[in-house]
Amino acid sequence: MSVPKAISPHRLSSLLRRQKDPNLALQLFQNPNPQLQSTKPFRYSLLSYDIIITKLARAKMFDQMDQILLQMGRETRFVTKEIIFCNVISSYARARLPHKALEMFEQIPSFRCRRTLKSYNAVLDALLKCGEIGKMREFLVGLGNQVNPDVCTFNILINANCKYGCLDDARNVFDTMLSRGVEPNEVTFATLISGFCSNCKLEEALRLKEDMSKVYGVKPNSSVYVSLIKELCRIGEFGLAFGLKDEMEREKVTLGLTVYTTFISALFKVGKKDEAHKILEEMKGSGLKPDTVTYNAMIHGFCMENDLNAAYKVLDQMVKEECKADIITYNIIIGGLCKDGKWSEANDLFEDLPRLGYKPDVVSFRTMFVGLCNCRRFNEAATFLDEMLFKGYIPSSEGRQKIVDGLCQEGDMKLLVKVLSSLGNANSIGVDTWELVISMVCKKESLSNVSEKVDTLLVPNNFLYRPKEGKLY
């Protein structure tokens, strides 16, 4: 019988890297030599810590990740690299855990690792991604004098202003960075141009694209083109959009998946399926395989035309190509089914999501709720509402309007009161909803009855209309 050979720390790293399943990777990490009853502790390399931590962070297995972090902190053979913590911070941002991101930042020194601008920027970006603008400002002020912002810091601040529609402020940050001698890079311009495009300022976006090469000597990259193409398609300027695609080819900017997907999505939206298929073929011809985003764009296109069969065919295609559908794929299909009047089928699919391995998100709940309202299934919608509120999801303002509107039209005051009560308890009524209710009731009843009606809506259910909190979510 041959004696099993122990695997080396180096070999463990390469095995870990290849293991796609985070659970199996963790098992492997914790017990690299299951055949050997070794008494000596395994000498993990920094790289293997790096790989397993990054894998666990991406899989949002934070408890397990914390254990490994602690274990790494006890190692004395090497100095931990800051980039590992940056990755952890980004993962917390993706999981919408801003507190954990900040906590990680605080703990970096306890790993005998020096904090630099890198982790500082990672936190700044994490707070932005989580919508924690107040915390972001605090963080900036708190460490203001200790850091010298670099391009990346400025890029994050520009992005923050763009995300909140403050294009002038974004420009100001850009000017500040110039005046402080920090050279803008392609990310800076891509961020600004994307901001202009998504705020309907195409002219400025195009001008900046010209300036970036002429004035600043930075060549427009694929992201810049994608933003411009997307906006041009949105306003129906397909000719100009294709013109930019030609320009990319002339300028030898790589036509990546994102460019093709942008065109496919836009063409599907205006019903130009033939052209979309031409682009799809061209894309495949250049050796690119459609990914989840590409397929989702197609499924969305078919759903908008109520062609559920074609949409399901794309889903089959995804399975064949081993391209994993995600929650967005299913949100699109649920919306499509409702749009086609198939609310019951949509509801079955919604209920089935956990079994299929997907966790319904805000959009799933809101889509299903609006869908039920649009199909005028108000009883089902009211039941669904309680379920979603219980889970902590609040319907969109469109959804709230739809159900109140619908119940008023149906004259189902009893259910209306129940729905308002549920929304009230979730503290998510909003002025808009109240205005709607009152105007609806006014239309329905003679004026003398209105106050009485509003009273029955208010008193027995303990509604408190608090103007300060009557704000939209």
Site residues for DNA per CB under 7 A: 47, 50-51, 54, 81, 83-84, 86-87, 90, 117-118, 121-122, 125, 150-152, 155-156, 159, 185-187, 190-191, 194, 198, 221-223, 226-227, 230, 256-258, 261-262, 265, 291-294, 296-297, 300, 326-329, 331-332, 335, 362-364, 366-367, 370, 396, 398
Smallest gap from Cβ 418 to DNA, in A, equals 23
Q: Which long-range contacts (C-beta less than 8 Å, at least 24 apart) are formed by 34-39?
A: 35/4, 36/4, 36/6, 38/6
Nearer to DNA, 273 or 300 (CB): 300
Q: Where are the alpha helices (DSSP H) in 340-429?
A: 343-356, 362-374, 378-390, 397-410, 413-425
Nearer to DNA, 64 or 223 (CB): 223
Smallest gap from Cβ 269 to DNA, in A, equals 7
Instruction: Give buried/exposed letters for 168-199 (b at 16+ CB in 10 A, else e).
Output: eebbebbeebeeeebebebbbbbbbbbbbbbb
Smallest gap from Cβ 35 to DNA, in A, equals 28
Nearer to DNA, 20 or 414 (CB): 20
Of 161, 209, 157, whose CA–CA distance to 180 is shortest? Answer: 157
Q: Which long-range contacts (C-beta less than 8 Å, at least 24 apart) are formed by 276-281?
A: 276/301
Smallest gap from Cβ 152 to DNA, in A, equals 4
Nearer to DNA, 337 or 441 (CB): 337
Task: Answer whether 133's CB lies under 8 Å from 160's CB.
Answer: yes
Smallest gap from Cβ 119 to DNA, in A, equals 7
- CA–CA separation, 141 and 150 (whole Å): 16
Smallest gap from Cβ 362 to DNA, in A, equals 5
Smallest gap from Cβ 425 to DNA, in A, equals 22
Single-letter amino acid code for the residue at 298 = M
First CA to last CA distance, the chain? 68
Specify the residue for token string 């894309």: 283
Nearer to DNA, 186 or 432 (CB): 186
Nearer to DNA, 190 or 441 (CB): 190
Nearer to DNA, 263 or 463 (CB): 263
